[in-house]
Structure 1
């Protein structure tokens, strides 16, 4: 039995370009006799709850949200959750209940985002329903993007307007490590397909910073507001967001300053190593280079990317030579052809973006510079964590 009055509460989406509220998500609540509001989430997660009762509850909540949308600013959008499991129950050509509700309340479908939840459902039937939503003027979002591999199939089939990053994956990625690279890659993929990114579950300043790094168009989470019955003022979070954005920009400028300092140190290190290499001095005459604690290894390639020397590494208080990679060609690696494109003519020092080295499992950057009239390339691998 479902106990309580079904209501919609609204959690805002903050536009990262303005700090203003751009829209809200309708989240289901049950108002108890003592006025407490309980989430309907446990009911939908409980397999014992009858499907008929859940569908009725879902439509009641959606009906409540749509009936109140006229109270919100006219430029806000409303995000409504749609379960693929229930779409499967529709008969071919049957009128879509959600669209009927939108029209019954006189709401412009262009203000509606239908948020596809869960991983179930027949993808072709789902694509047909999504096409009908689009024909009516509504937009499509995919929730929990990144939670499972099948979401990629869903993106290709549905071509959504918005992708909501999976909250658990996003929050873990904000801590750093391999998952952060996965989420950045997902965000880049979304950008290339023309999707806007929503980062939900933004609860800390660090998570907001990561959302901005990922290019999120909207952020949603307790850092700004929980879902509530009453409407927020459109500019309620502008000062707070502006403050946090300023902190983020300062952090990025500080990171840029560290990179500039690193470039100065690398220029000094390049001179030391090139002088040693050109003098063909033995390995024991190479300085210890204690001023460069982030140095992982260095080596030389020819201008075509073939490794000419061993990897030289400082281990156990001595320089060690690792010859396993002699003759390997690295021209296929992004940092190498960037070097060819950017550093060949001017012989200037270039620095790659951060990447994860598959051999050592370390996060690295690679610096490179041509010398000996462009016939040799000196490459330095840098421990990104050490920075």
Structure 2
């Protein structure tokens, strides 16, 4: 671990390594752990083994096997509580977005001009997102990108007709939305266009169409 590790790209590399380890049946060792934050970071990225000055300075003999057991228990209980709080906040956000979009889509009847309908939805999401668009069930973008620029919404048609089915979990999420009849909040990732850390909330609407809103 490095002291300046907290970047989205670095985190993405470690997340990819954790997925690879799981797929091939390997285990991860995190080295260079010097404080409790790095210990938590390693634990939350699926580390099995830990090494660093935070646990013990180098010695001429091996330390007793169970010397850190009780300390680990306390730390891991604390980590679990942090994760619980994080996931509860994510579920609350997802619930709030589902409630708001259910209300909006029912109060604003969908029409043939999807760009106009998208704009009507976007102006009611001032605090929630900076980009919004619609795709069909095959991943083709059916609208312009609604983009919030200096507090105003603009419709940018450049990506209309693009296909997004290649994105990770795209098809899986469409099926989940159909089966569960509710929206899904993504994990944090780096946006291709802006390089910002964002989440995407995807929401099923009528006529096998799906609304996507990007959140900073």
Q: Shorter-normalised TM-score: what interval?
A: 0.7 to 0.9
Change (3 A) 1:269 1:325: farther
Secondary structure of 1:278 counterpart: coil
In the alignment, does 2:170 pair up with 1:333?
Answer: no
- Structure 1: runs of 5+ lacking an equivalent: 1-169
Report if aligned partners of 1:174, 1:206 keep a CA contact under 8 Å in 2.
no
Q: Distance in 1 between matches of 2:134 and 2:162?
A: 11
Report if aligned partners of 1:173, 1:179 keep a CA contact under 8 Å in 2.
no
After superposition, what is the alpha-carbon deviation per residue over 1:135-176, rounded to whole angstroms, capped at 9, x for unaligned?
Answer: xxxxxxxxxxxxxxxxxxxxxxxxxxxxxxxxxxx2257423
Among candidates 167, 173, 191, match of residue 22 of structure 2: 191
Among candidates 289, 293, 299, match of residue 125 of structure 2: 289
Secondary structure of 2:130 counterpart: strand
Report the Cα offset of residue 291 of structure 1.
Answer: 4.2
- Structure 2: runs of 5+ lacking an equivalent: none
Report the Cα offset of residue 187 of structure 1.
Answer: 2.9
Among candidates 135, 139, 142, match of residue 301 of structure 1: 135
Report the Cα offset of residue 194 of structure 1.
Answer: 2.3
Q: What are the residue-to-residue correspondences of 1:215-226 with 2, within 5 Å?
A: 215-226=46-57
Runs of 4+ with >6 A deviation? none
Q: What are the residue-to-residue correspondences of 1:44-193 with 2, within 5 Å?
A: 170-172=1-3, 174-193=5-24
Change (3 A) 1:335 1:273: farther
In the alignment, does 2:156 pair up with 1:322?
Answer: yes
TM-score (norm 1): 0.50
User: For residue 114 of structure 1, what is the aligned residue in structure 2?
Assistant: none
User: For residue 188 of structure 2, what is the aligned residue in structure 1?
Assistant: 354
Q: Distance in 2 between matches of 1:285 and 1:174?
A: 38
Question: Considering only CA atoms, is the larger Rg found in Structure 1 or Structure 2?
Answer: 1
Q: Distance in 1 between matches of 2:71 and 2:122?
A: 53
In the alignment, does 2:91 pair up with 1:255?
Answer: no
User: For residue 342 of structure 1, what is the aligned residue in structure 2?
Assistant: 176
Change (3 A) 1:332 1:379: same
Secondary structure of 1:299 counterpart: strand
Q: Distance in 1 between matches of 2:121 and 2:45?
A: 45
Question: Comparing both chains, which one has the higher relative contact order based on Cα–Cα distances under 8 Å and sequence gaps of 6 or more?
Answer: 2
Q: Distance in 2 between matches of 1:288 and 1:369?
A: 15
User: For residue 213 of structure 1, what is the aligned residue in structure 2?
Assistant: 44
Report the Cα offset of residue 277 of structure 1.
Answer: 6.1
Q: Distance in 2 between matches of 1:357 and 1:285?
A: 22
